Amino acid sequence: MTARSPDWGFAGELEDISGQMAIVGVGDAIYQRASGRNATEIALDAIERAIADAGLRPEQIDGLMQSPFMGDTLSADAYRDHFGTKQEIWMSTEGGAMTWAATAPIAAARAIREGRARHVVNLFAVDWFSQKVAGGDGPGRYHRDERMKANFEVPFGWFPQPVYFATIARRHMWEYGTKAEDLGAIAVSCREHATRHPDAITRDRPLTLEQYLARPMMVDPLRMEDCCLISDGGGATILTSVERARDLPKPPVVVAGVAEGYSGSGAYWSQQADFTATPQVFSAPLAFAQAGITAQDVDVLTLYDPFSIVALMQIEDMGFCAKGEAGPFVSGDRLRFDTPGLAYNTHGGLLSHAYVLGIAHVNELVRQLRGEAACQVADCEIGVYGGYTGHMASTLVLRRDR
């Protein structure tokens, strides 16, 4: 039987930069509650830690990447003022978190090749918990303010994001026999890892599958434990060329594959042609091919996991199991860092670590590949991050330097 590629989306045409770039520094700034710090201050905390981790000096950073929708978190002037430096800084909004946490190395590689930068920080930071405490808007506003959603979804109560993903989860359960226990296995594995992680917001709140199943529904069939946290926090990742990376103190982590996939059904969750799949279908195979790996070679996987069902779908769509079989695949202890199976979100993910939209997922992979992680996977050589935002997905393959 020949596998037929689905027709509802496509892979982005990205340059293959496998083997050119490395991650040399990572820094997180995660806060247990409202930090009282704004996103810029949080970003600078994360960058300071990443620079120290890389063994660099602040004046050596000459590239700064942020997300397309929060590209004003940190200006070049604010960077120079904070660190008392004078260098030129190449700026880009092709980075940040979500899908861009995976694809940022491509623009960074171009800038480095063209001589515009040598050490590039990819950055993401939010102060959404402090905003919420202050009575302000959280991340839901990006959806509420979208005009078609405001007119044809919000009036009917199909808002905010937990409602989208409860509807998707219900359909996935009907199509594939997915059970509450399967969603629970995702939530419980994230929490298990978070309780061992010094930064994780839920480190003091263990969760068993029995406890999960006893929790009330928030948006049926999702419980609170299926949904991401809201937090203050951020992360910074320092990218440079593999050659330069080998002169720095920490072992380089090499970018071995980067790809992205798109749905052809537009940006609305309600209108996706394949309602229970993600564009990882188009992205992951390309990134794995660049890296010369298959899903079976992956030692640690971190997935952008705003909801448990998003992780479950990506595990299927990236080929870790057949479509519809993620339930059996994730059951029991199979996602734990120290059991046979697939080590998954070993820092706790968006569900249990912090809601920093994927930047900490990449930093966690780097620590795993260096052997520095709190929940260290034995003999960890290949790490994969899956990014997602509705009509887009992305895949980043990282490996230890050879």
Partner 1 sequence: MAAPLPELDWPLTRPFWDAARKGRLVMPRCEDCARHVWYPEERCPDCRGERISWVDVSGRGRLFSWAEVKHLLHPPYEGQIPYVSGLVTLEEDPRIRYVTRIVDCDPADLSIDLPMEVVFRTLTFRGVAGGVRAPVFRPARTPARS
Positions in the binding site for partner 1 (CB under 8 A): 140, 144, 147-148, 150-160, 162-163, 166-168, 170-171, 174, 216-222, 224, 268, 270-271, 275
The token pair at 278 is 């993600």
Is 212 among the catalytic positions? no
**Quick check: 365 and 300 in contact, CB under 8 A?**
yes
CB of residue 254 to partner 1, shortest distance in Å: 41
Q: Which is nearer to partner 1, 72 or 220 (CB)?
A: 220
- Considering 164, 176, 262, 304, which one is annotated as catalytic? 304
Query: CA geometry: angle at 92 spanning 86 and 97, to 5°?
Result: 115
The token pair at 205 is 């709140």
Residue 189 CA to residue 334 CA, distance in Å, equals 9
> Considering Cα of 285, then 289, then 291, then 293, what sign does the dihedral take?
positive
Q: Which is nearer to partner 1, 138 or 332 (CB)?
A: 138
The token pair at 83 is 């660190």
Residue 240 CA to residue 382 CA, distance in Å, equals 19
Q: Which is nearer to partner 1, 115 or 157 (CB)?
A: 157
Q: Which is nearer to partner 1, 82 or 170 (CB)?
A: 170
**Quick check: 86 and 61 in contact, CB under 8 A?**
no
DSSP 54: H
Residue 324 CA to residue 103 CA, distance in Å, equals 27
CB of residue 154 to partner 1, shortest distance in Å: 4
CB of residue 309 to partner 1, shortest distance in Å: 11
Evaluate the omega torsion of the peptide bond into residue 249 and state whether it is cis, within 30 degrees of 0. no
CB of residue 145 to partner 1, shortest distance in Å: 8
The residue count for the chain: 402
CB of residue 167 to partner 1, shortest distance in Å: 5
Q: Which is nearer to partner 1, 34 or 154 (CB)?
A: 154
- Considering 79, 212, 355, 388, which one is annotated as catalytic? 355
Is 355 among the catalytic positions? yes
Residue 355 CA to residue 70 CA, distance in Å, equals 15
Treating both helix axes as pointing N-terminal to C-terminal, what angle do 308-317 and 180-194 enclose, rounded to 10 degrees? 100
Query: Looking at the annotation, which residues are catalytic?
Result: 304, 355
